A and B are shown apart, each in its own frame.
Chain A
Amino acid sequence: SQKIEQNSEALNIQEGKTATLTCNYTNYSPAYLQWYRQDPGRGPVFLLLIRENEKEKRKERLKVTFDTTLKQSLFHITASQPADSATYLCALEGAAGNKLTFGGGTRVLVKP
């Protein structure tokens, strides 16, 4: 069966360090993968999209990699700040076009 796994344990990190989150999937062949940020009491907010033919994508302090052989995406927050504290969700395109399936999310806490 299809599965998307993110580390369910919270990631505690010191301000200024790089936070690295993983998203592993099985039984998918997604054309693209997305990362979203969710703050408490709010809906997810889109951050980055990376396609299957792209190895890496950057946006400001964020970097995403996509390894279709390993079936894994890594999400990096460089020079992390307390304002980066949130839950980060990866999402994969399903079999039917723009239908997304989300991972369980990883909570990040950046300490000053």
Chain B
Amino acid sequence: DAGVIQSPRHEVTEMGQEVTLRCKPISGHNSLFWYRQTMMRGLELLIYFNNNVPIDDSGMPEDRFSAKMPNASFSTLKIQPSEPRDSAVYFCASSFSQTQETQYFGPGTRLLVL
């Protein structure tokens, strides 16, 4: 298996622009997680899905952030409009929630908002 796939790997954008991050989980995994990592705040859970349904979005910073999972093999995290404080590394992770709790992380998307 190729593991969790994220795109793009790097994104540089200007304040106010829309940013869309993409994730393909490991085939067969039914839970998907979006995290944000910064030096100041560490690794924070933004939202997670189980069987394509959002279960907990309490970590989503504000209405500028939205996430979707239209099917079991694809998820997006959108920031609109983006702000410089959104600059961080965004990770997607997946797990098979029925039998194992470990999460498999993608390589991350490094976002810089100017």
Number of interface residues of A (CB under 8 A): 21
Chain A residue, CB-CB nearest to B39: A104
Q: Interface stretch among A10-18, A19-27, A44-52, A75-83? A: A44-52
Contact (Cβ within 8 A) A34 B102? yes
CB under 8 Å from chain B, chain A span 57-94: 89, 93
Chain B residue, CB-CB nearest to A32: B101
Number of interface residues of B (CB under 8 A): 22
User: Which residues in A have their C-beta under 8 angstroms from that of B104?
Assistant: 46
Chain B residue, CB-CB nearest to A89: B43
With A96-B55, A99-B48, A105-B42: A43-B108 Cβ-Cβ less than 8 Å: yes
Query: Considering residues A46, A93, A96, A101, which has the most beta carbons from chain B within 10 angstroms of its beta carbon?
Result: A46
Measured CB to CB, the closest approach of chain A to B32, in angstroms, equals 11
Contact (Cβ within 8 A) A43 B106? yes
User: Which residues in B have their C-beta under 8 angstroms from that of A103?
Assistant: 42
Question: Which listed residue, A42, A46, A96, A99, touches B102 by the CB 8 Å rule?
Answer: A46
Per-residue A-contact encoding for B87-107, CB less than 8 Å = 1, 0 else? 000010101010001111111
**Whole-angstrom distance between the alpha carbons of A97 and B105 in the complex?**
18
**Whole-angstrom distance between the alpha carbons of A41 and B109 in the complex?**
10
Contact (Cβ within 8 A) B56 A99? yes
User: Which residues in A have their C-beta under 8 angstroms from that of B45?
Assistant: 99-101
**Whole-angstrom distance between the alpha carbons of A100 and B33 in the complex?**
10
Using CB atoms and an 8 Å cutoff, list the residues of chain B in contact with chain A: 4, 31, 33, 42-45, 48, 55-56, 91, 93, 95, 97, 101-108
Give me the 5 closest cross-chain CB pairs, A-B, nearest first. Answer: A43-B105, A46-B102, A102-B43, A104-B42, A98-B97
